[in-house]
Each structure stands twice: as C-alpha cells, then as structure tokens.
Structure 1
Amino acid sequence: MNATILEEKVFIDSALLTSIEEESQVIIHCKMTADEYSNAARIWPSTYLIDNQNNKNCQLVYAEGITMYLTWTYIEEGSSLDFTLIFNGLSKSCKSFDLVELIPQAGGFEYRKIPRNNSDVYYIEFSE
C-alpha cells in the first residue's frame, strides 16, 4: 500500500492573529495564620486581580482550600490555612497588580503592588 502525503497551505489574515490573546491563568497560593486567637476566613466571588497599568480586573475562577462566601473556614489558634486562588490571566503589558476582595464590609483580602513574574504563580502570606 502506497501513501501520499499532501501539503496544504493555510493562510490566515494577519488582522485576525493580532486580535487573539493567549489564554492564561494566574495562580496565587495563600497562607493565613491565626496567631493569638482562633480565626475564620472565606473568599467572596468579588475577588479580583487589578492590573496597576490599566486598571483592568481579572476574575476569580476557582478557589481551593477555602470556602466561598457565605460559609466560613475555621482556623485554630496557632495554626494556618493554606489555600489557592486561580484567576483569569493578566494582560501581557501588566508589570504589577493588586489582589483585592471587593466586599461591602471591613476585613476583605487586600495585597497591593505584587510584581509580575514570568510564571504567573505567586505566594502570599496574610497575617492577622
């Protein structure tokens, strides 16, 4: 049996290529420690990464190891809670960003001016 390989050339308009952005994610590994007293934590769906260059928000898409608002995750005194947040990707022009939980009460997560790295994987520690 003989097989023939045909070469096909596909042409894509360059205008289409410039409008396509690579899909990406930002992963933030967090640690929250309850030092002197027991504590509790939860994450609201209104938690964003905010690009410091253009003020665009990146949506939280997944949380692991922490409960979502309304439910609390209990942290015993002297222990810590490790959790991971996954967000939609930042723009290629982003050099630094803020992690902000926009909620209608005090005490939301906030971590400012996080320098961007090549892997888009970050480690943050929140202290009470």
Structure 2
Amino acid sequence: MLHDWLRPGYDYLLEGKISSLWREIDASPIGPDLARYLTGAGELGFSQRVRTATGSQAPARLLIQTGHRLHQLTEAGLDEFADACRMRQHRTGKGWHHYKAALVNTHLVLSTSASCPNRPAAAAPGTSRSASTASLRRSPRR
C-alpha cells in the first residue's frame, strides 16, 4: 500500500490502524508527502502528537487510496473520504469523529500551508469554511 501497488478502498483503510505506517514511510513514495504535511501542520502550530495522529488518519489514507501526491489532493477527494466515513458509520454504527477531526485538520493544512503548493481552494468569499469542511458538519456524531 505504501509503495503505490495497492489501492484497497476506503472500506479497508477505515477499518483499522495502518500499524507499519511510521516505520516504513521513509522508504515509500508517500514519505516525502507526509513529511510535507507534518511540516505544514507544524507551521500552523499543531503539536507533534496531533500532526502524527492526523497524518496517519486522513492524509496517509487519501494518498494511498487516490495514488495522488499531496499537492494533487482536492476538495472532491476530501469529500469522497468523508462520504466513505459516513457510509462506514451507517454500516457499522462506529462513529467517525476522529476521522472527521483529521479531515478538518488536513483541509486546513492543505489550504493554508506554504509547504503544500497547489493546495485546495480556501473558503469561498463570504464564507468561513470551504464546501468540503462545511460538509463535514452535516453528519451527526454518535
């Protein structure tokens, strides 16, 4: 998965931890992307713990499933991930608050960090959140 050979689907990626992620990331093609994400999150003041937790919960899974690099992630990709989380909650009854928080943080890092060029658009004029971030509020928490 970390070497762009598999795209297992969000059903699989949302069911558990990617336990080998931080041990194997440096040797994988997504290693530099996650390093840029961690740098961007650090620039925004996120603690090391929040950066690594968020990095493994949302951007790593997005990079694995889409096959894109960090600068290629889009609002539509974030929305697809959120939809997969909602479907998982509906199917299993398991909440997705940690994934939701990770997606919001990911959007923030991608839309504001200088470490993430070609980032998704920031909030539309006159709004405080982008469509992607706003869509994360629609699902009730369990």
TM range (shorter): under 0.3
Decide which structure has greater helix share. Answer: 2
TM-score (norm 2): 0.20
Larger radius of gyration: 1
Q: TM-score, normalised by structure 1?
A: 0.21
Relative to its length, the structure with more strand (as a share) is: 1
**Higher RCO structure, 1 or 2 (CA under 8 Å, sep 6+):** 1
